[in-house]
C-alpha cells in the first residue's frame, strides 16, 4: 500500500475558481459540428437541427464557455459564408474537408443560448486582418443602424449576440497554421486588431495566441515578443497542450497533469517578466483554450479525398486517459489564480467527451466523468494542497509524485478533494489533516473512477462500462484526519461537509 498525506487549511488559498475554467471547444473539424451538435433530420433534432440528446449531455457535462469556430479552421475562414440565406460551400484546407457553411455564427449563437454557455469567438488572423475582425464584431455585437448590424437583423437576429470573449487568431506560432508568421509580426497584428476591436466595443476580453505547445522551439521567446507588443491591449495569453501515452510508458503519460503545471508556471513567469520589463501593474492571465488527450493518427495527415464532415480525430478513450484528464483538471484548479479560462478540446466526436452516431445515439466517453464532476464540485476557493507522496521516475517527465490532488471549498463550506492515484501497482492510503476546517466535518461522499482493466473504454455498445462509482466503505474523518483508500490508477472525488 502506498501512503500519502496533505493538510487542508482555509487560511491558505490559491484563489477563486473562474467558472470559465470548465470550457470546451467546437471547431469545424470532422464531425464536431455536423452530425455532432447539428444534425437536422435526426430524431432528437430540434427546430434548428440541434441534437437535443447532445445538448442534454453538454448541460450534464457542466460546460460554461465554448470556443468557436477553430482551431486551425479559423485561419482560412470567411465568416460571411456562414450567415444569411445563401451559404457557400468552400474547400477547407486546414482539415482537408469541404465546409458547407450550413452552420455559422447565427447557428452557434442560438446553440450557445440553448446550451446555456458563454460563446468565445476566434477571429481569422491567418488569411485576414483588422478590417475583417472589426466587421465580424460589428455584425455580432452592434445593436443596429449600420450595414452589418442591420444585416444580422435581416438574418433573423434583431438582438446583438453580445459576445465578450475573443481570441486573436489561433496558434500563429505553428508552421502548419495558415498565415503563420513570426512573433514580432503577430504581436503587432494582435495589438492593432485588439485596439480596433475595442474602439467598436470597449467591453471585450481579448486573448493573444501563446505557444501551440510547451515544446515549441520558439516557446518563451514567442510569448515575450508577442506580449512586448500587445501587453496593454490584451487580457489573456493562450496555452495549448495535448498529451498521449507513448512507448508503453503509462507512468509518463499519467504525469501529464504535472507537465501541464510546469507549462502554466513557465507562461506565468514569462508574462510577469514582460510586466516587470514594461513596468506595468496589470497582470496577464491565462487562457488554456485547448487541452486534452489526443492520439494523432497518420491518416489525419495524409492526402484524403475532399469530403464533408469526415471522421477525423475520433479517439476512443480508456480509463487511463480519463485518469490523465483528471490530473489535467487538477492542474488547472491548482493554478486558478492565473488560469481564468480553459477549454477542453473538443466537445463532440473530435477528441471529445461526447460521441454520436449519425442518426444514432449519443454517449459519454470515459473522460466525460472527471470533467463533469470537476465542473459540478470545483466551484469556490481552491485551497493550497502540498502532498507528501512517494514518487515514480518517468521517462517523459522525470520524478513525479504518485498523488496528484487539489481541494475546493464552496460558499457553504463544503470541501471537495479531487485526487488521482497515479500508481498502477497498488492502492494508496490518503491521510489529510483537516483540523483547520470546520468542526464536525464528515465525509458526504467518495466517488471513484477506476477499473480492473486500465484499457477499458465506453463504446456505443457498452456506453457505461467506465463511470464513477461509490468507493468501498471506509472513507471517514476521525480526530481531525480524513482517511481514504484510493484504488490503483484512479480519479477520486471526496466531499466533506458539516454535521
Ligand atoms: O483541436 C485540434 C487542433 O489542435 C486545433 O484545430 C488546433 O488549434 C490544434 O493544433
Kindly report, residue by residue over 250-298, the tens digit of the pLDDT.
999 999 999 999 999 999 999 999 999 999 999 999 999 999 999 987 6
Is the domain of 363 the same as that of 424?
Answer: no
Considering 377, 396, 428, which residue would you say is the last residue of a domain? 377
Is the domain of 218 the same as that of 335?
Answer: yes
Is the domain of 322 the same as that of 395?
Answer: no
| Atom 3, ligand 1: residue with shortest CA distance | 71
Sequence-ordered list of residues with C-beta below 8 angstroms from that of 223, at least 6 positions apart, any chain: 210, 211, 237, 267, 270, 271, 274
Considering 377, 408, 440, which residue would you say is the last residue of a domain? 377
Pairing outcome for strands 65-68 and 23-25: parallel
To the nearest whole percent, how much of the chain has pLDDT over 70? 99
pLDDT beyond 60 at 235:
yes
Residues counted in the chain = 499
Q: How far is the CA of 27 from the centre of ligand 1 (A)?
A: 8
pLDDT beyond 80 at 213:
yes
Sequence-ordered list of residues with C-beta below 8 angstroms from that of 131, at least 6 positions apart, any chain: none
Q: How far is the CA of 72 from the centre of ligand 1 (A)?
A: 6
Relative to the CA of 70, which ligand 1 atom is closest? 6
Q: Span 310-339, mean pLDDT?
A: 98
Q: Span 217-242, mean pLDDT?
A: 98
Is the domain of 370 the same as that of 405?
Answer: no
φ/ψ (deg, to 5) at 77:
-90, 135
Q: Say if CB 2 and CB 390 are below 8 A apart.
A: yes
| Atom 7, ligand 1: residue with shortest CA distance | 71
Ligand 1 neighbour 235 (Cβ under 6 A): no
Residue corresponding to grid cell 459540428: 33
Is the domain of 43 the same as that of 135?
Answer: yes
pLDDT-based confidence at residue 301 (cuts at 50, 70, 90)? low
Can you give the pLDDT at residue 62?
A: 98
Q: How do residues 192-211 score in pLDDT, each as one tens digit?
A: 999 999 999 999 999 999 99
pLDDT beyond 60 at 299:
no
Q: How do residues 106-139 score in pLDDT, each as one tens digit?
A: 999 999 999 999 999 999 999 999 999 999 999 9
Residue corresponding to grid cell 510508458: 249
Ligand 1 neighbour 170 (Cβ under 6 A): yes
Is the domain of 349 the same as that of 424?
Answer: no
pLDDT beyond 60 at 350:
yes
Is the domain of 416 the same as that of 454?
Answer: yes
Is the domain of 318 the same as that of 432?
Answer: no
Ligand 1 neighbour 193 (Cβ under 6 A): no
Relative to the CA of 290, which ligand 1 atom is closest? 1
Ligand 1 neighbour 233 (Cβ under 6 A): no
Ligand 1 neighbour 345 (Cβ under 6 A): yes
| CATH (domain of 451) | 2.60.40.1180
Is the domain of 198 the same as that of 259?
Answer: yes
Can you give the pLDDT at residue 498?
A: 85
Comparing CA positions, the residue from 24, 30, 87, 101 lying closest to residue 55 is 24
Print the domain residue range for 57.
18-377
Q: How far is the CA of 365 from the centre of ligand 1 (A)?
A: 20
Can you give the pLDDT at residue 304?
A: 87
Q: How far is the CA of 144 from the centre of ligand 1 (A)?
A: 34
To the nearest whole percent, how much of the chain has pLDDT over 90? 95
The residues assigned a catalytic role are 171, 290
Q: How do residues 76-106 score in pLDDT, each as one tens digit?
A: 999 999 999 999 999 999 999 999 999 999 9
Q: Span 19-25, mean pLDDT?
A: 98
Is the domain of 120 the same as that of 151?
Answer: yes
Q: Say if CB 165 and CB 118 are below 8 A apart.
A: yes
| DSSP secondary structure string for all residues of 4-46 | EEEE--TTSEEEEPPGGGGEEE--SSTTSTBTTTB-TTSTTB-
**Mutation to probe ligand 1, out of 213, 242, 287, 348 (largest number of atoms < 8 A from CB):** 242
Can you give the pLDDT at residue 3?
A: 98
Ligand 1 neighbour 107 (Cβ under 6 A): no
Q: How do residues 32-91 score in pLDDT, each as one tens digit?
A: 999 999 999 999 999 999 999 999 999 999 999 999 999 999 999 999 999 999 999 999
| Atom 6, ligand 1: residue with shortest CA distance | 71
Q: Span 216-226, mean pLDDT?
A: 98
Is the domain of 391 the same as that of 264?
Answer: no
Q: How do residues 379-421 score in pLDDT, each as one tens digit?
A: 999 999 999 999 999 988 889 999 999 999 999 999 999 999 9
Can you give the pLDDT at residue 154?
A: 98
Q: How far is the CA of 240 from the centre of ligand 1 (A)?
A: 8
Considering 332, 347, 377, which residue would you say is the last residue of a domain? 377
Q: How far is the CA of 117 from the centre of ligand 1 (A)?
A: 21
Q: How far is the CA of 29 from the centre of ligand 1 (A)?
A: 9
Relative to the CA of 313, which ligand 1 atom is closest? 2
Ligand 1 neighbour 290 (Cβ under 6 A): yes
Q: Say if CB 280 and CB 231 are below 8 A apart.
A: yes
Ligand 1 neighbour 36 (Cβ under 6 A): no
Pairing outcome for strands 490-497 and 442-449: antiparallel
| CATH (domain of 82) | 3.20.20.80
Is the domain of 373 the same as that of 387?
Answer: no
Relative to the CA of 95, which ligand 1 atom is closest? 6
Q: What's the whole-model pTM score? A: 0.98
- Cell digits for 382? 481552491
Can you give the pLDDT at residue 490?
A: 98
Can you give the pLDDT at residue 297?
A: 76
pLDDT-based confidence at residue 180 (cuts at 50, 70, 90)? very high
The residue ranges of DSSP E strands in 89-130, in sequence order, are 90-92, 97-99, 118-123
d(CA 332, CA 464): 27
Number of domains, the chain: 2
Average pLDDT, the chain: 97
Amino acid at each position: 500500500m502506498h501512503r500519502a498525506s496533505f493538510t487542508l487549511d482555509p487560511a491558505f488559498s490559491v484563489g477563486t475558481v473562474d467558472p470559465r475554467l470548465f470550457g470546451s471547444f467546437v471547431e469545424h473539424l470532422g464531425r464536431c459540428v455536423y452530425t455532432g451538435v447539428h444534425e437536422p433530420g435526426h430524431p432528437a433534432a430540434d427546430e434548428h437541427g440541434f441534437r437535443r440528446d447532445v445538448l442534454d449531455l453538454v448541460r450534464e457535462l457542466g460546460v460554461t464557455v465554448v470556443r468557436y469556430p477553430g482551431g486551425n479552421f479559423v485561419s482560412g475562414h470567411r465568416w460571411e459564408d456562414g450567415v444569411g440565406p445563401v451559404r457557400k460551400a468552400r474547400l477547407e484546407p486546414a482539415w482537408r474537408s469541404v465546409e458547407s457553411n450550413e452552420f455559422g455564427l447565427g447557428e452557434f449563437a442560438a446553440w450557445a443560448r440553448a446550451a446555456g454557455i458563454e460563446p468565445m469567438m476566434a477571429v481569422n488572423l491567418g488569411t485576414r486582418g483588422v478590417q475583417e475582425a472589426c466587421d465580424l464584431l460589428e455584425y455580432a455585437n452592434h445593436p443596429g443602424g449600420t450595414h452589418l448590424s442591420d444585416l444580422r437583423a435581416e438574418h433573423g437576429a434583431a438582438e446583438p449576440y453580445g459576445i465578450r470573449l475573443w481570441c486573436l487568431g489561433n496558434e500563429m506560432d505553428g508552421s502548419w497554421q495558415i498565415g503563420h508568421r513570426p512573433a514580432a509580426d503577430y504581436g503587432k497584428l494582435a495589438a492593432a486588431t485588439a485596439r480596433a476591436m475595442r474602439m467598436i466595443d470597449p467591453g471585450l476580453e481579448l486573448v493573444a495566441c501563446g505557444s501551440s505547445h510547451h515544446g515549441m522551439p520558439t516557446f518563451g521567446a514567442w510569448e515575450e515578443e508577442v506580449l512586448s507588443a500587445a501587453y496593454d491591449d490584451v487580457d489573456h495569453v493562450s496555452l495549448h497542450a495535448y498529451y498521449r501515452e507513448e512507448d508503453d510508458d503509462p507512468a509518463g503519460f499519467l504525469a501529464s497533469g504535472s507537465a501541464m503545471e510546469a507549462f502554466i508556471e513557465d507562461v506565468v513567469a514569462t508574462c510577469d517578466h514582460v510586466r516587470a520589463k514594461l513596468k506595468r501593474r496589470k497582470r496577464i492571465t491565462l487562457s488554456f483554450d485547448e487541452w486534452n488527450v489526443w492520439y494523432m493518427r497518420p491518416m489525419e495527415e495524409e492526402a484524403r479525398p475532399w469530403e464533408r464532415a469526415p471522421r477525423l480525430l475520433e479517439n476512443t478513450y480508456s480509463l487511463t486517459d480519463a485518469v490523465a484528464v483528471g490530473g489535467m483538471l487538477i492542474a488547472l484548479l491548482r493554478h486558478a489564480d492565473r488560469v481564468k479560462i480553459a477549454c477542453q478540446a473538443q466537445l463532440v466526436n473530435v477528441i471529445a467527451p461526447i460521441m454520436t452516431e449519425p442518426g444514432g445515439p449519443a454517449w459519454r466517453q470515459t473522460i466525460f466523468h472527471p470533467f463533469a464532476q470537476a465542473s459540478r464540485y470545483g466551484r469556490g476557493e481552491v485551497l493550497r494542497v502540498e502532498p507528501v507522496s512517494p514518487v515514480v521516475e518517468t521517462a517523459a517527465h522525470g520524478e513525479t509524485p504518485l498523488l496528484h490532488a487539489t481541494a475546493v471549498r464552496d460558499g457553504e463550506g463544503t470541501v471537495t478533494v479531487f485526487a488521482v492515484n497515479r500508481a498502477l501497482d497498488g492502492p494508496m492510503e490518503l491521510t489529510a489533516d483537516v483540523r483547520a476546517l470546520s468542526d464536525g466535518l464528515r465525509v458526504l461522499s467518495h466517488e471513484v473512477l477506476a477499473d480492473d482493466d486500465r484499457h477499458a473504454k465506453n463504446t456505443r455498445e457498452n456506453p457505461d462500462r467506465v463511470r464513477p462509482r461509490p468507493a468501498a466503505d471506509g472513507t471517514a474523518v476521525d480526530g481531525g484526519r480524513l482517511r481514504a483508500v484510493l484504488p490503483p490508477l484512479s480519479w477520486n472525488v471526496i466531499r466533506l461537509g458539516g454535521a
